Amino acid sequence: MYRKALRLPEKNEIRFAVSGAFAFQQHTGICRDTKDLDIFLTSEEASAALACLARHGYECEVRDPVWLAKAYRGNYFIDLIRV
């Protein structure tokens, strides 16, 4: 699910950076279980990413308009962190 979710913004030329456990594993080789995918985006990119994910069936919500939104599909979710 996370791979598919990351392809959507890429196809729509939305810039983002992966952070959290997935970035940690990529850079250190240390794997740890995680319940979510964390991505960093600018405010403009975060709005575009939420709209893109919503169009593709993700449930989306803004938790804090200053810095945090979430996108859900089943038991998986993505934190969209505004920087």
pLDDT the model gives residue 62: 97
* Number of domains present in the structure of the chain: 1
pLDDT (tens digit, 9 = 90+) per residue, 12-69? 999 999 988 777 777 788 887 777 899 999 999 999 999 999 999 999 999 999 999 9
Count of H-run helices and E-run strands, the chain: 3, 5
Domain extent for 72: 2-82
Cβ within 8 Å of residue 64, ≥6 positions away: none
* CATH number of the domain bearing residue 30: 3.30.460.40
